[in-house]
């Protein structure tokens, strides 16, 4: 190889800026140009609307798949700001849709994007052939149109409005995505999950793509993670005890809350789902603390009732987990994650806090429900199938 062909210097480095980088390397921002990436576009817009509801500024989020291949995400919140953003001369709405990081505040534990990589509405705008933003705020109705991330109309007052809120409709760019077909079930799965993890959150999903075949789903769960356990169990097996055990506790030591629900079934399968700030996790200090707390509570109860001898070892988490369905959800002001995928929660204080909360609440439940407690302990000591 000659010196000329092997030469590599700064002149060969291509610097991509702003939304041009998004269109050239979409996978870096939404993970895929397939159906998974297509869904991520919806979630990036919907998360903003969900945050409005969780902050108490809106009552619901409505997502509609339109007949012409678009998606409309609407909320009845405050409406995105239409005045200038930070003295830049750019309206807040335009900044949100064209600038990385715009509209991303400090957040709190109820922000479903806190601690996670958030690319935001501007990336959705860049990867859409067109996008329409409507804002109802201060008695006025404002509209602005975009094409491939660039504003093609000024922010225009289109009339008056007695309501308030934001509606963003976008059409993914067919030149970027391998498919333009959204999976209704894939979207519904995530919206159901969000509603189950946030008690009282209401999300509706409507599919109007095929005339005469419209379908819709509404997600709202008054009992939060207890409803989640019931959903996971379905009608598969008879539960060992009828009541789903659940509690929520705030702990300043971990600057957050933990919410837990659990129930045993007759099978050997363990189903433990863990979440941090409403995002699924594959492991972490919250899940380890949960397992430790359940094991400690069951062991203490069994020893107190002399169901274990002094020479018997403590019951371990693997044995206790057989047939257990559980949801462990923490919401933290300062979440810390391990690994590039951010799939494991790393906050050290969380493990001890969750363990203590589970041991106290579950231990109290065992003491207060002797008949159901006997069924749980018998299930754990004897296993799912009696001899």
- pLDDT reported for residue 348: 95
Residue 178 in tokens: 């391998």
Q: How far is CA 298 from CA 89, 184, 377, in A?
A: 62, 41, 7
Gap between the terminal Cα atoms of the chain: 74
pTM for the complete prediction? 0.89
Phi and psi torsions of 292, nearest 5°? -60, -40
Provide the sign of the torsion angle of the four alpha carbons 360, 362, 367, 369, taken in this order. Answer: positive
Kindly list the structural domains of the chain, giving each domain's residue range(s) and its CATH number in brackets, ordered by start: 20-219 (3.30.565.10), 225-382 (3.30.230.10)
β-pairing verdict for 61-65 and 128-137: unpaired
Rounded average pLDDT per 10-residue block, the chain, 387 residues: 52 53 88 92 94 93 96 96 75 88 61 69 95 96 96 93 95 92 95 96 96 93 96 85 96 97 91 94 95 95 89 87 96 86 87 98 96 92 62
Bridge partner list, 261: 246, 327
Instruction: Please name which of 226, 225, 210, 178 lies closest in space to residue 37, comparing C-alpha atoms.
Output: 178
- pLDDT reported for residue 15: 39
Instruction: Please name which of 241, 89, 58 lies closest in space to residue 164, comparing C-alpha atoms.
Output: 58
The shares of helix, strand and coil residues in the chain, as percent rounded to the nearest 5, are 35, 25, 40
- pLDDT reported for residue 83: 86
């Amino acid at each position: 190889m000659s010196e000329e062909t092997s030469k590599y210097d700064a002149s060969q480095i291509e610097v991509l800026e702003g939304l041009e980088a998004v269109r050239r390397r979409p996978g870096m921002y939404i993970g895929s140009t397939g159906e998974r990436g297509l869904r991520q576009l919806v979630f990036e817009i919907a998360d903003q609307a969900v945050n409005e509801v969780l902050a108490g500024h809106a009552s619901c989020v409505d997502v509609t798949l339109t007949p012409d291949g678009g998606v409309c995400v609407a909320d009845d919140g405050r409406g995105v700001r239409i005045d200038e953003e930070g003295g830049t001369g750019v309206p807040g709405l335009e900044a949100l849709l064209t600038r990385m990081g715009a509209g991303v505040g400090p957040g709190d534990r109820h922000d479903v994007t806190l601690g996670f990589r958030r690319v935001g509405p501007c990336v959705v705008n860049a990867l859409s052939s067109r996008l329409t933003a409507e804002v109802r705020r201060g008695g006025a109705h404002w509209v602005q149109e975009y094409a491939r991330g660039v504003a093609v109309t000024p922010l225009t007052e289109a009339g008056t409005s007695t309501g308030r809120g934001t509606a963003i409709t976008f059409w993914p760019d067919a030149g970027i995505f391998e498919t333009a077909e959204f999976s209704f079930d894939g979207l519904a799965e995530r919206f159901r999950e969000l509603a189950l993890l946030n008690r009282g959150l209401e999300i509706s999903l409507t599919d109007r793509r095929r005339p005469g075949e419209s379908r819709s789903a509404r997600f709202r769960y008054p009992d939060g993670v207890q409803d989640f356990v019931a959903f996971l169990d379905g009608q598969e097996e008879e539960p060992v005890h009828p009541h789903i055990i659940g509690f929520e506790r705030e702990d300043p030591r971990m600057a957050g809350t933990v919410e837990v629900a659990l129930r045993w079934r007759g099978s050997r399968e363990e189903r433990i789902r863990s979440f941090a700030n409403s995002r699924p996790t594959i492991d972490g200090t919250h899940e380890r603390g949960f397992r430790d707390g359940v094991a400690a509570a069951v062991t203490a109860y069994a020893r107190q009732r002399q169901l274990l001898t002094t020479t018997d070892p403590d019951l371990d988490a693997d044995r206790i987990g057989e047939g257990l369905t559980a949801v462990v959800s923490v919401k933290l002001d300062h979440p810390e994650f391990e690994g590039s995928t951010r799939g494991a929660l790393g906050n050290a204080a969380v493990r001890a806090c969750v363990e203590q909360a589970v041991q106290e609440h579950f231990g109290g439940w065992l003491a207060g429900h002797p008949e159901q407690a006997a069924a749980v302990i018998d299930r754990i000591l004897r296993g799912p199938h009696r001899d």
